[in-house]
Chain A
């Protein structure tokens, strides 16, 4: 240290999990409340994290409050382990939580923090899925005031949301909500399941894994808990209009396959090619894609 060092010397170290212990305990208490009232947006005093609001600070506080030695953490963004934000968050947890393991394998992870996707492989009772949430309240589509929305949730009054869906059908003959599809939990609270595609919503239904949703900027935590029998998660629809997930059929009605691993049962990213080359479709879940690829190669080797 140079003689001109300008700061007090006792201000360097960070504690395990970055947050002070009181903050982590507070988050855990809120998680317990959220689990006890499935789908209820539990307010908590979200702390500022050293990355931007909107980059997953809510999910990160949940992860940091729960993680301990022996945990294997998987962090994904848009389904991929190696996209910039996933790399950044994983690096931060590794930095501040010495002794934990990180993994890219969905099956090996005990704790999975994700933005915008639920892994393709069904999760188990031994796993916790933490979803990063930008907008915790589905009613924000129809009511800007939080105070009024709180009353509507309490009364189970989702009539304006249903009206919006109905108006969509009148205008477009389709429900136009693409992602963040309003989903009713355990027959009462309707949640914003975070910006997962509609394709992932059925994974929430009777999920064996505990699903925790953390909104840092909006200071809310809510949960889809793994009760026995497991918690129902039903997308808001009408009896005569079924819920539809994203369509990956080509013009002839055939399900598109991943250009990389050949899977026809995964959510696909559409990748525009330069020039006249045809559009490529590829698994959004990078770990799933790698596993399918490895399996296929193993089978090929057996056959030869």
Chain B
């Protein structure tokens, strides 16, 4: 019986695919297939999460992955990541200037007012989490008029093209260390394996496409007491970053498009320094594709924790680069957890062999415990 189950694997897989497809379409005749545009817009935060964890900025393909995987974020990000494996790397991007972002939201919890102004924008932060029963009965007409009315109600204010960074003000005041020129090229985690110790750029890149929950859990351990970062959010901004790439012919930086990103900069309490330099605040940086504020904040806290761990040696898990960076990737961790569902009967046979032999020895050892240990020689 047991053996039959694994025979005819091909047919079993086909049947399984058909069952998955049947559940996706289980509404039957009353159902309407989801359009990619619907997913991308109405489930925009889900799409954000998938482009971020997939490490590929392609909201439309992310929407397809979400549809195909029936809403499983781990699987959807995974599909996007696998798609990415088929694409060559065309060039190395120059550093992008996030002060040029077309903002939809920008806040600072460090200052009441900031140069350029606070901009609350779209957020659930101050929404009451009461069920909105009216959404259960939303007419297409009502749905279509909301965004239009919102835009009409907006004053035709001329928003500036760029907003100064809060950090620049802190830096000018001498509260943050001056910017040091970047040493070497950024580490590309898609083309180089992590061999520890790794530079900070490798840590940032790994966290930028990490699984949100994993990142949050480790950052939370640091916030709660397994660590000592007491962060203040100097600035959190969400918006569209113009991507500047060198023109293929002239080499001149040219805008190639824009990507929605979330960026977070936290400032943490200062530390004494070894040399005679004056004490300053320390900084943590988080950024990722899409609108994912919790992820960007968690990343910024961990960046600060890891910098400390890289310098002084880790004193808790969230400061240990190996512990954090090798365990936050969703594709890796979910894949490995899933693989335990595969047959393991050869290795289990081996395990049983060891256990039975050990049990036999224990039993015969009890029976002959008065004899010397030499007589229990290894069975050849």
Q: Judging by beta carbons under 8 Å apart, are B349 and A246 in contact?
A: yes
In the complex with contacts A7-B36, A82-B10, A271-B3, A179-B346 CB distance below 8 A: yes
CA distance A160 to B7 in the complex (A): 42
Report A-chain residues with C-beta under 8 Å of the C-beta of B189. Answer: 45
The reply to whether the CB of B254 lies closer than 8 angstroms to some CB of chain A is no
Q: Judging by beta carbons under 8 Å apart, are A18 and B86 in contact?
A: yes
Shortest beta-carbon distance, B133 to chain A, in Å?
32
The reply to whether the CB of B191 lies closer than 8 angstroms to some CB of chain A is yes
CA distance A191 to B107 in the complex (A): 52
Pick the residue among B6, B81, B358, B380 that contacts A83 (CB under 8 A): B6
Pick the residue among A8, A55, A145, A199 that contacts B322 (CB under 8 A): A145
Residues of B contacting A: mostly: helix
Q: Judging by beta carbons under 8 Å apart, are B61 and A78 in contact?
A: no
Q: Judging by beta carbons under 8 Å apart, are A178 and B87 in contact?
A: no
CA distance A7 to B308 in the complex (A): 45
Shortest beta-carbon distance, A91 to chain B, in Å?
7
Most buried by A among B79, B88, B349: B349
- Size range of the chain A interface in the assembly: 35 or more
Shortest beta-carbon distance, B309 to chain A, in Å?
12
Query: How would residues 331 to 354 of chain B score, 1 for a CB under 8 Å from any chain A CB and 0 otherwise?
Result: 110111111101111110111111
In the complex with contacts A7-B60, A247-B353, A83-B9 CB distance below 8 A: yes
CA distance A50 to B343 in the complex (A): 20
Report B-chain residues with C-beta under 8 Å of the C-beta of A80. Answer: 6
In the complex with contacts A45-B192, A197-B349, A53-B86 CB distance below 8 A: no
The reply to whether the CB of A198 lies closer than 8 angstroms to some CB of chain B is yes
In the complex with contacts A134-B339, A195-B347, A48-B82 CB distance below 8 A: yes
Pick the residue among A14, A174, A219, A274 that contacts B358 (CB under 8 A): A174
Pick the residue among A6, A20, A82 that contacts B87 (CB under 8 A): A20
Most buried by B among A18, A26, A53, A282: A53
Query: How would residues 62 to 82 of chain B score, 1 for a CB under 8 Å from any chain A CB and 0 otherwise?
Result: 001000000000000011011
A-B contact count (CB 8 A): 195
Pick the residue among B190, B334, B378 that contacts A174 (CB under 8 A): B378
Give the size of the chain B interface in residues (CB under 8 angstroms).
67
The reply to whether the CB of B154 lies closer than 8 angstroms to some CB of chain A is no
Please provide the chain A residues from 112 to 130 with a CB less than 8 Å away from any CB of chain B in the complex. Answer: 116-117
Q: Judging by beta carbons under 8 Å apart, are B346 and A284 in contact?
A: yes
Report B-chain residues with C-beta under 8 Å of the C-beta of A53. Answer: 331-332, 334-336, 339
Q: Judging by beta carbons under 8 Å apart, are B193 and A46 in contact?
A: yes
12 sample A-B contacts, Cβ–Cβ < 8 Å, listed by A number: A4-B35, A6-B35, A7-B36, A48-B78, A50-B82, A52-B338, A52-B339, A83-B343, A174-B354, A197-B346, A272-B2, A284-B346
Chain A residues at the B interface, C-beta cutoff of 8 Å: 4, 6-8, 11, 14-15, 18-23, 26, 43-50, 52-55, 57, 77-80, 82-88, 91, 116-117, 134, 145-147, 150, 172-174, 176-180, 195-199, 217, 219-220, 241-242, 244, 246-247, 267-274, 280, 282, 284
